[in-house]
Structure 1
Amino acid sequence: MQPILFVSHGGGPLPILNHPSHSDMLRAFAEILDYLHAHFAKPDAIVYVSAHWEREPVAITSAATPELFYDYYNFPPESYALKYPVPGAPKLAADLQQRLEAVGIEAVLDDSRGLDHGVFIPGLLLHPDADIPTLQISLQKGLSAERHLKIGEALQGLAAENILVIGSGYSFHNMQAFFGPDNANDNAKNQAFEDWILTTLAEPDNAARQHQLINWEEAPHARFCHPREEHLLPLHVCVGAAGDAPLQRSWSFTALNKRGSCHLWK
C-alpha cells in the first residue's frame, strides 16, 4: 500500500543546488523522506503528475528508459548535467491509458517526451537511488479543476497496487511575488491561501472538499497566489486519487520568502 503525495517542488533546480532560499524546503523534504521510510514499503512504481506538462488529450510518458527534459532557463551549467536515470514503466503507462479512457478522459502514450524538473527534482530528493520505474502524466489543456479531480479518480486503485502517486506543483506560484520585494501584504495573502488549502484538505466530507477545490478561485487571494493554476492542479489530481482517504500529514516551509506546503493521504 502506498500513499498519495502532493509536493511543492521549488524553483527550478534550486533545491538540488542547495540554494540558501530553499534550505527550509529541503528540511521539509527530509521530513517527508523519513516519514515515507517509516510508514511505507518501497513502491513498485511511481506516477507523477507535473505542473510542467500540458497536453490535449492527456499524455503519459511510455519510454522504457526516459530521458530528462531540462525545462528551466538561465541556471548554472551544473543544472543541465543533473542525472536521474530511472527506468520507465511502459506497461503501466498502457494500463493508465485504459483507466483514464474508462472514465471518459482521452489519453495518448508518448515515448519521446522526457521527464521534466517537476519529476526529477523531487525524485532526486525523495528517491535518489533512481531505481524505481517512473512515469509522468500531463495536465489537460484548458486546466479545468473538475477535470483534474476526475483524472485523479481514475488513479484511485494504484495505491493498493503499491504504486506511489505524486502530484508535483506548488501551493503558491506567483513568480512576480517570489522574486519581488518581500512585503507584509503579499505574505498575508500567501498565508491566507495556505490556510484555505489546509482547511479544505481537512474537510471530512469528500463531496464538500471537491466542491471547494472546483471553486478554488473563491478562496482568499486565489488569483494572487495562482495567476495561472497549472501549479495548483496537481493537488486536485491528488485529492481525486485519494478519494475518501483522510489527509494524514502536511508539511509547511518557506522558500523564496513565501510559504509553501506538501500533503500526504493514506
Structure 2
Amino acid sequence: MSSPLTQNVDVPSNQAEWRAALESLPSTPQKIPAFFFAHGSPALAHAQAPAKLRASEHSGFKQYRGPNGPLAEFLKDFGPTLLQKYSPRAIVVFSAYWETLDERLVTDYGEENPLLMDYYGFPPDLYQLKFKSRGDKQLAEKLVTLYKEAGQLARTTSKLEPRGSDGRGFEGPGLDHGVLIPFRLMFGEEFDLPVVQVSIDSSMSPEANWKLGQVVKVLREENVLVLAGGLPIHNLQDFGSFTPDTAKPIYHSFHKAILDALQISNAQERKKALLDLPRHPGFRACNPREEHFVPLYVASGAAEDENVKILNGLYGIPTVAFGV
C-alpha cells in the first residue's frame, strides 16, 4: 500500500504505457519541464557489445540496453515528443560524464559542436558516429552569468580547450557520449537546435547538484529545454546489475526506492526523500561512485516546487519530467 504522501499513479513499464505518458505531458512551451533521462551507453548504437560484456554471462545486456532494446525504443519516442510539445529554441544538457569541482564550465563551441567519444573497447565504427549540432554563444554566456549571480565560479570553454580524451587516444573538446549516444536516437544525426552542455559538480553532493538545477530554472520560461542524463544504477563491477533479470534484489530495492520518492506529491517531502536516497542500503552497490546518480538532482532542482511525472519506470533506465 502506498504512503499517504505518494500519488496513486501507474509507472510506465512498456512502450504502450510510456507512449501514453509522453502523450499526456502538458504542452507548455511557456514553461518547459526539466527532465532526467537515462542516457544509456555506446551499446545503444551497436549490436555488438564490448569485449568485457561478450566474455560475461550477462547476454541480456544487449537485449535490454542495445539498439533494439526498450531504452533505445524509448529514446526514439522521447526526443520527438519534446520537440512537438515544447518547440524549444535550444537545449541545455548536463551529463554524468562531465564534472568539474568549484567551477562550472559551459560549452561555447560555435557553429558546430565537436564530439568527445570518451568510451573504450568498442568496435571501430563506434568512433565514426555522427551527431551534428551547433552551440549558442549568447546562451552560454547567459548560463555563466546565472551561475555567477548565484555565487558560483563559472566560465565558458571553447574548442581550443581539451576537456578529456576519447577511445581513439586523442585529447580534445566536445559533447561526451552521455549526450552523443542518446541525442542521435532522440533527434537524428543532424539537429537544428543549439546544444550547450554544462558540467555537473564533482563534489557529488546531492545539495550542490540540486543547486545547479535551481540556477537554470529560469531558462524553462525562456523556451530552453533542460535535460540531465545519467543512470541511477551504474555498477561496472557487476554487469548483472544492468538488466532486471540478472540484477540482485538489492538493486531492485533501490530502483523501487527511487520511484517511491518521485511519487511523493508534497514537494518538500519529495525533496527530503530524494536527498535521503544515498542512505538507502542499496545505494552504494548501485553507485560505487555517484556521477551517474547526481544528474537526477540537477533536474529536480530545476523544478523543485512543482509536480513530477514518471515517463518511463523500467528497471535502471527511468526518465522523469519535473515541472508538469
Asked if 2 retains the 8 angstrom alpha-carbon contact of 1:196 and 1:220, the reply is no
TM-score, normalised relative to structure 2: 0.75
Q: Choose 130-139 or 210-219, whichever is displaced more.
A: 210-219
- Residues 79, 162 of structure 1: alpha-carbon distance in 2 compared, 3 angstrom cutoff: same
- Residues 182, 235 of structure 1: alpha-carbon distance in 2 compared, 3 angstrom cutoff: closer
d(CA) in 2 for partners of 1:180 and 1:168?
19
d(CA) in 1 for partners of 2:242 and 2:186?
31
d(CA) in 2 for partners of 1:184 and 1:18?
19
**Aligned to 1:169, which of 210, 230, 234?**
230
d(CA) in 2 for partners of 1:183 and 1:61?
36
Does 1:117 pair with 2:117?
Answer: no
Matched residue, 2:192:
131
Matched residue, 2:305:
244
- Residues 212, 82 of structure 1: alpha-carbon distance in 2 compared, 3 angstrom cutoff: same
Does 1:264 pair with 2:321?
Answer: yes
Matched residue, 1:24:
70
Task: State the secondary structure of the residue aligned to 1:156.
Answer: helix
Matched residue, 1:49:
94
**Aligned to 1:152, which of 196, 213, 218?**
213
Does 1:78 pair with 2:135?
Answer: no
**Aligned to 1:15, which of 16, 41, 44?**
44
Q: Deviations over 1:116-158 (max 9, x none)?
A: 0111111111111411100111112211110000010001111
Asked if 1 retains the 8 angstrom alpha-carbon contact of 2:214 and 2:301, the reply is yes
d(CA) in 2 for partners of 1:208 and 1:217?
16
TM-score, normalised relative to structure 1: 0.90
d(CA) in 2 for partners of 1:203 and 1:18?
38
Q: Structure 1, unaligned stretches of length 5 or more?
A: none
Larger Rg: 2
State the AA in 1 paired with 2:318.
S
Asked if 1 retains the 8 angstrom alpha-carbon contact of 2:241 and 2:248, the reply is no
Matched residue, 1:4:
34
- How much has 1:74 moved relative to structure 2? 1.1
Task: State the secondary structure of the residue aligned to 1:10.
Answer: coil
Asked if 2 retains the 8 angstrom alpha-carbon contact of 1:46 and 1:165, the reply is yes
Matched residue, 2:11:
none
Does 1:61 pair with 2:122?
Answer: no
d(CA) in 1 for partners of 2:245 and 2:255?
15
d(CA) in 1 for partners of 2:242 and 2:70?
19
Q: How many residues align?
A: 260
d(CA) in 1 for partners of 2:320 and 2:242?
28
State the AA in 2 paired with 1:61.
T
